[in-house]
Amino acid sequence: MYRLAAWGTFIMALIAAIAYILMGMGVLKAGNLTDDAMPSFFYIIPTAYIIMGVCLFLRWRWVRIAEAVIVFFTIAVFYARYFDQPDVMWSAPGLITKLAQILMLAGLIYLLVKGKPVKATESKQTGG
């Protein structure tokens, strides 16, 4: 179950990254936001999600805690920023990214609770 949760969390990170890439390219439109209103971080976030997804497999507790904080912060900022714009919140990209992020956060919490983290020195000695 642990491995399944890790892979599921990784897939959610990839889904969020792909959605942000498509928003940055203009394929997915988030409500009435125009290209001028699209924050520049739509180009930075996909890279961060891909890196976070890959880092899941390091099994370092502090990395997973940092990832959970980052994902939670991203969700909170979205709802704080676009609370008064339901066309953005309920748009396809808004729903896709937030659903993926919420499931990713749930997966990270599960991995933190159920996982037996490997210390950085142990992983170098054992090769994994």
Q: What is the pLDDT of residue 33?
A: 65
Give pLDDT tens digits for 28-49: 877 776 555 556 677 788 888 8
Q: What is the pLDDT of residue 100?
A: 94
Q: What is the pLDDT of residue 91?
A: 86
Distance of alpha carbon 71 from the chain centroid: 5
Could you report how far apart the first and last alpha carbons of the chain are, in Å? Answer: 19
For each successive 10 residues of the chain (128 residues), what is the average pLDDT? 89 91 81 62 82 86 90 90 84 88 93 72 52
Which residue, 58, 69, 63, 65, is CA-closest to 101?
A: 69
Q: Tokens 């000695």 identify what position?
A: 125
Name the pTM for this structure: 0.79
Q: Tokens 């890279």 identify what position?
A: 47
Q: Are 115 and 2 in contact (CB under 8 A)?
A: yes
| CB atoms closer than 10 angstroms to residue 74 | 19
- Measured CA to CA, the distance from residue 3 to residue 99 in angstroms comes to 21
Q: What is the pLDDT of residue 73?
A: 92
Q: What is the pLDDT of residue 119?
A: 57
